Amino acid sequence: MLKLPTLTANSPTIAEVDLAAFKENIRTFKQVAADSMLMAVIKTNAYGHGTVPIGLAAVEAGADRLGVTTVEEGALLRENGITVPVHILSSVLPEQAADIVTYDLTASVSSRKLANDINNEAKKQHKTVPVNLKIDTGLHRFGIEPKKAIQFCESCYHLTSLNWEGIYTHFPNSDEGDWELTEEQFALFLDTVSNLNDHGYNFPIRHVGASTIAIERKDMHLDMIRPGAALFGYEPASRQRDLISLRPVMTLKSRLLSVRELPPNTPVGYGGSYVTSSHEKIAIVPIGHGDGYKYALSNKGEMLVNGKRARIVGTISLDQTVINVTGIPDVRAGDEVIVMGSQGGDEISAKDIAEWMESNVDEVLSSLMERIRRVYV
């Protein structure tokens, strides 16, 4: 049995999660799509915010359903008292059928083998299990090709322990604002659904809309929207800034471990990729790429100390980052440093960090490791 130490003080680096802001974002989306159901997509440890507390908050704020990508996340929600439908938005292995049925999860089905295995398992457990048919309209990850949908339903729709409750697709280029392609794919999806309906294959819940569609395309909301990243405060595209008002949910903060002065021409950190040009004051922040604060931020990112921006200097190590606090008055070891969030009227957002590391908000947030303590406020 693993023994956990008893410590007198908590580690300095924490991710503060503002549950009130999260709930407000949920309510904002409920207003945006008042005529559709809301599935809160909280995959990947709720984009780094913590699956269980965020799942509970989402349901409290009125989310009708939750979406995750792994069976493990779905089971975790169930073990912690979540009773609303939980969708698995990824494909799964047929071997996972038993867990899906045991935990009453709603699988995305696009293979006969999986349909049959879930059906057999459901029979065994004396249950009828809801499933969603995934149609591939162009993302080309998984899903049934539209022209094979009828054939698929001929072989699986009749399985008696399955309830084909929903049908959905996911768009590859809506965040980029490629409406021509997205509209084409939307039309293909609707065509496929109506063709299936004509053959007697009905799916009460049709859904296609992640954050971008939820924000920009009311005409594509259908029966349910599926926002994810936006629930955590970040609209996927800057063109959406004036269309919706969202509050960032996470503040990432730490405290300076030490502050020291270095003379000119002093290399800092592994490889000496930064060399001081004058007398400079540097400080150590206990966060590194081992925490998911990525190496790509080396010599690029910034943090806030005493309300002022301090640049990252040198390469980021596993557990530590060096920042340049030259010119920031009264900086002392122990001072709070904001890695992501607001301080003194300035703000460093997950979007800024994403730009510095040439990535996206999803990666910035979901990379943050479990060892960064989440504090829910």
Ligand X SMILES: *Cc1c(COP(=O)(O)O)cnc(C)c1O
The residues that are catalytic are 43, 270
Among 178-186, 228-236, 242-250, 304-312, which window interacts with ligand X (CB under 6 A)? 228-236
Say how far apart CA 38 and CA 60 lie, in whole Å.
13
206 contributes a contact to ligand X by CB under 6 A: no
- Phi, psi for residue 81 in degrees, rounded to 5: 90, 5
CB 346 within 8 A of CB 309: yes
CB of 249 to ligand X, least distance (A): 13
Give bridge partners of residue 109 from the DSSP assignment.
133
Residue ranges in 49-202 assigned as alpha helix (H) = 51-60, 71-79, 97-102, 112-124, 149-156, 179-198
Question: At closest approach, how far in Å is the CB of 228 from ligand X?
Answer: 3
222 binds ligand X (CB under 6 A): no
Which residue has the closest beta carbon to ligand X?
228
C-alpha 43/C-alpha 60 separation (Å) is 18
Q: Is 75 in the site for ligand X (CB under 6 A)?
A: no
Contact stretch for ligand X (CB under 6 A) within 150-158, 197-205, 221-229, 336-344 = 221-229
With respect to ligand X, which residue has the nearer C-beta, 210 or 323? 210
> Contacting ligand X (CB under 6 A), which of 58, 159, 210, 312?
210
Task: Give the count of residues interacting with ligand X (CB under 6 A).
Answer: 12
Could you give the CA distance from residue 185 to residue 349 in angstroms, rounded to a whole number? 33
Q: Considering only residues 234-253, where is the footprint of ligand X by CB under 6 A?
A: 236
- By CB under 6 A, the residues from 12 to 51 that bind ligand X are 41, 43
Q: Which is nearer to ligand X, 65 or 289 (CB)?
A: 65
Q: Identify the residue among 156, 229, 304, 339 touching ligand X (CB under 6 A).
A: 229
Dihedral sign, Cα of residue 233, residue 39, residue 48, residue 15:
positive
Q: Which lies closer to ligand X via its Cβ, residue 145 or residue 335?
A: 145
The answer to the question of residue 74 lying near ligand X (CB under 6 A) is: no
The answer to whether the beta carbons of residues 132 and 109 sit under 8 Å apart is yes
- Residue 159's closest CA among 196, 192, 194, 111? 111
Structure tokens at 269: 């950190």
Where on the chain is the footprint of ligand X (CB under 6 A)?
A: 41, 43, 89, 170, 210-211, 226-230, 236
